[in-house]
Homo-oligomer: A and B are copies of this chain.
């Protein structure tokens, strides 16, 4: 029985990536008491950083948005690994978005919108969320973006 969200993924012609193991001695997700915590996700493709570098320097806005979108897909891949059924998502409560950015960069919201838009496209109203977007001096493995998430689930 494919659920509602899985059907929407198909309709959008989207395939979630494989949920990747953590990059250290932690876990990619934790589900307790109706909350699902997702660890910081990087813009991976085939297990490697697909978008590395700094916004406002060697990367342009489109590349940053591609990175944010990859992070969002990995967040959903982890949620599926945690819940087995994405229909158990009640609400995406929070995205914390960290952009690897040069000191003068100011368009963090536009970068993160690529992740936010995708969440709403896939999850509908359950994907509407609060957010922070900030600029980091550096990120793990040189990634362009890192995003973590908290979901309410049942």
Task: Report the minimum CB–CB distance from A33 to chain B (whole Å).
Answer: 7
Q: Which of A1-9, A10-18, A137-145 contacts the other chain?
A: A137-145
Q: Does A83 reach chain B (CB closer than 8 Å)?
A: no
B33–A132 CB distance below 8 A: no
User: Which A41-87 residues sit within 8 Å CB-CB of chain B?
Assistant: 54, 56
Copy tally for this chain in the complex stands at: 3
Count of A interface residues, CB-CB < 8 Å: 61
A135–B136 CB distance below 8 A: yes
Chain B's closest residue to A35 (CB) is B93
Chain B's closest residue to A78 (CB) is B130
B140–A137 CB distance below 8 A: no
What is A's interface to B at a CB cutoff of 8 Å? Answer: 22-30, 32-35, 37-40, 54, 56, 90-91, 93-96, 98-110, 112-113, 116-117, 120, 128-142, 146, 148, 152
In the complex the two chains form, what is the Cα distance from A74 to B146 in whole Å?
26
Given known A93-B30, A140-B108, A152-B32, contact A22–B134 (CB-CB < 8 A): no
